[in-house]
Amino acid sequence: MSRLLQPISDRIRLMRPSHWIKNAFIFAPLVYGKALMNAESDLRALIAFFAFCFVSSSVYILNDIVDRNADAQHPKKQHRPIASGKVGVGSAVVQLAVVAAVAALLAAQLPWQAGACIAIYAMLNLGYSFGLKHVVLLDIFIIAAGFMLRVLTGAKSIQVDVSEWLIICTLFLSLFLGVAKRRSELSHIGRGESRKVLEDYTPELIRVILNVSVAGSIMSYTLYTVSDHTQEFFGTDKFVYTVPIVMYGIFRYLYLDEKRQTAENPVSVLLRDPSLIATGIIWMLASVAIIYWG
């Protein structure tokens, strides 16, 4: 029975559903736009979420096709379906086309601005797959742009404005995750072993960018919580009490990375560390409570 289910399992793994948690950024405007209790907005946000899930899965499949030879030499990535030969390139291309078509159909149900954000994300990642990932600094900025586009997609899907501070905070936080991943790659697999771009990063450069992105994340989020616009919009000044929760989450991730306990992928760190999971849940519950019942 397990042998019969294995091909299905490989197809699912190829889409990397565990990475779909990144698309939760789409729901930020739903919560911070005070639209969570609106059924129509909830439905649109869900459609946007799954549209992004499928378009990001199509990007993962494309990356695995393009990088199959390099992945085959990597100690961990060699077990991916295409790199290991469990899924052929031809059938992977077919799956890519189907997944991308589903993403396009879902995006077509949204306002055109949201669809445009999804299309821009797809084009950025096409460039990333075919060369931009080898350009130092630009690689992590493309990753950061992907998270910003998730937030914008969520906002345009339910047609609410999103705070400039929230966009800036998303930028710094995603830069932090991107550069932390690069530092983990350098320490785990050796420079240049898998990604050519790692040859252009040094520990000193990584440390500087990491410090700036951490400081920027905390500062921008703090300024967002105490801004006059935020307090007027939510009708409360209690949002600042969530700052220590955010700081703890960032510092916890830094601790894990510094202790060499992280995997190369930030998602696996989040999903495997009980403290980070608890921090995320507490932060979400506190935010919703303050916004809607504060």
What CATH number is attached to the domain comprising 73? 1.10.357.140
Query: Is 154 part of a structural domain of the chain?
Result: yes
Write out pLDDT tens, residues 55-70.
999 999 998 898 888 8
- What pLDDT score does 6 carry? 59
Same domain, residue pair 107 and 247:
no
Residue 4 lies in a domain: no
For residues 28 and 166, the answer to whether their CB atoms sit within 8 Å is: yes
Do 56 and 157 fall within a single domain? yes
Answer whether residue 3 is part of any domain. Answer: no
What integer pLDDT is reported at residue 191 of this predicted model? 43
Confidence of residue 1 (pLDDT cuts 50, 70, 90): very low
Are both 33 and 152 inside the same structural domain? yes
pLDDT over 80 (residue 196): no
The C-alpha torsion from 245 through 144 and 52 to 197, rounded to 10°, is: -130
pLDDT at 264: 55
Q: Are residues 129 and 218 in the same domain?
A: no
Q: Mean pLDDT over residues 278-294, rounded?
A: 91
More confident residue, 88 or 148: 148
Using a 10 angstrom Cβ sphere, with 0-12 exposed, 13-18 middle and 19 or more buried, the burial of residue 234 is middle
Q: Do residues 23 and 154 both lie within one domain? A: yes
Encode pLDDT of 64-116 as tens digits: 898 888 877 777 778 888 888 888 888 999 999 999 999 999 999 999 999 99
Domain holding 170, by residue range, is 163-294
- Please indicate, yes or no, whether residues 235 and 141 belong to a single structural domain of this protein: no
Range 213-241 average pLDDT = 92
| Total number of domains in the chain | 2
Are 17 and 133 contained in the same domain? yes
Identify the residue whose tokens are 């879902």: 106
